[in-house]
Chains A and B, each alone.
Chain A
Amino acid sequence: MSKLVLISHGQLCEELKKSAEMIMGPQDDIATVALLPNEGPEDFQAKFKAAIEGADDVTVLADLKGGTPNNVAARVLAEGGNFDLYAGMNLPMVISYLNGQMLDMKPDLVGDGKAGVAYINDIVKH
């Protein structure tokens, strides 16, 4: 079973999932783990480990490289965790992942995530 896990400072991950569902329809295989203001890395690590348990193909998107959610996940990865971890998550990456699932292809999450970042003034012709 494939699973996408979104992790973030606060509820960005939960709301990002809702935004993706507005476009791509309901997503049962997206889990979210929010680091809340009153929680420490240990609390987050417990919730994160519970979220990735049970699935054999796990992709994790973290909101910020160097932030606690990413750092905790990176530590779990370094200790032998079996999942793909990306930082800098955005809606294009989530859409890219879901389209990859739909077409049964491995998506280029970093490429698609970067391609979705643009200075629109350069595109809009005056």
Chain B
Amino acid sequence: MAIIAARVDGRLVHGQVANLWTTKLGATRIMVVDDAASKSDIDKSGLRMATPETVRLSVLDVKTAADHILNHKYDSQKVFIVAKRPETFLALVEAGVPIKELNVGNMSQTDETRSITKSINVVDADVETFKKLDAAGVHLIAQMVPGDPAADFMSLLKKG
């Protein structure tokens, strides 16, 4: 079983992730892959607070996350991977982590970004990263909530 879902979300564990997607997916573990958060006790404490009590949480850097998954540490669990940026997922895929589908959730707006949807804002470098993920065989979708249909993200990216 191991990886049941993967999501790009700049807010990591928050209302939608903790209360909605985790419930819908029946995830038993949220794995936050974030090099900075994995080294910060304050970040980790905040993420733990936001995670439902019935769900386990890992906050790992890319290398440790890939090692744990590839060493079958979570094979009996249902792991929901969340990271802020697409390049984190590209690094996981390049390390050999099998990610079949990636849901692009929240990527917030800055002065440099352009808007793909209301909640997804990208710079040129992100587009290149998404192209590489797509070329690596990762199906990219955009689905805000389970009730919405999953939109094909590469098509949205072309229109944007």
Interface residues of A (CB under 8 A from B): 22-26, 95, 99, 102-103, 115, 120, 123-125
Confirm or deny: B148 has a beta carbon within 8 angstroms of a beta carbon on chain A: yes
With contacts A25-B148, A103-B23 known, is A123 near B16, CB below 8 A? no
User: Which residues 25-78 in B have Cβ within 8 Å of A in the complex?
Assistant: 41, 45-46, 48-49, 53
* 21 A-B interface contacts by CB (under 8 A): A22-B15, A23-B16, A23-B20, A24-B16, A24-B19, A24-B20, A25-B20, A25-B144, A25-B145, A26-B147, A95-B15, A95-B20, A99-B23, A102-B146, A103-B24, A120-B49, A123-B49, A124-B45, A124-B49, A125-B41, A125-B45
| Residues of the A chain whose Cβ atoms lie less than 8 Å from the Cβ of B16 | 23-24
| Residues of the A chain whose Cβ atoms lie less than 8 Å from the Cβ of B48 | 123
Q: How distant is the Cα of A99 from the Cα of B16 in the complex, in angstroms? A: 11
Closest chain A residue, CB of each to CB of B41: A125
Which listed residue (B24, B49, B144, B148) contacts A102, Cβ 8 A? Answer: B24
| Shortest distance between the CB of B120 and any CB in chain A (Å) | 15
Closest chain A residue, CB of each to CB of B17: A23
| Residues of the B chain whose Cβ atoms lie less than 8 Å from the Cβ of A125 | 41, 45
Q: How distant is the Cα of A36 from the Cα of B28 in the complex, in angstroms? A: 44
Closest chain A residue, CB of each to CB of B49: A123
Which secondary structure dominates chain B's binding surface?
A: helix
| Residues of the B chain whose Cβ atoms lie less than 8 Å from the Cβ of A99 | 19-20, 23-24
Closest chain A residue, CB of each to CB of B16: A23
| Residues of the B chain whose Cβ atoms lie less than 8 Å from the Cβ of A22 | 15
| Residues of the A chain whose Cβ atoms lie less than 8 Å from the Cβ of B24 | 99, 102-103
Assign chain B's interface to a size class: 10 to 19
- Is A25 within 8 A of B147, CB to CB? yes
| Shortest distance between the CB of B46 and any CB in chain A (Å) | 8
Closest chain A residue, CB of each to CB of B24: A102
Closest chain A residue, CB of each to CB of B143: A25
Q: Which one of B23, B48, B144 has the highest number of Cβ atoms from chain A below 10 Å of its Cβ?
A: B23
| Residues of the B chain whose Cβ atoms lie less than 8 Å from the Cβ of A26 | 147
User: Which residues 4-27 in B have Cβ within 8 Å of A in the complex?
Assistant: 15-16, 19-20, 23-24
| Shortest distance between the CB of B125 and any CB in chain A (Å) | 29
Q: Which one of B19, B23, B48, B148 has the highest number of Cβ atoms from chain A below 10 Å of its Cβ?
A: B19
Closest chain A residue, CB of each to CB of B26: A103
Q: How distant is the Cα of A25 from the Cα of B143 in the complex, in angstroms? A: 11
Which listed residue (B15, B46, B148) contacts A23, Cβ 8 A? Answer: B15
- Is A102 within 8 A of B23, CB to CB? yes
Q: Which one of B41, B53, B147 has the highest number of Cβ atoms from chain A below 10 Å of its Cβ?
A: B147
With contacts A99-B19, A99-B20, A102-B23 known, is A24 near B49, CB below 8 A? no
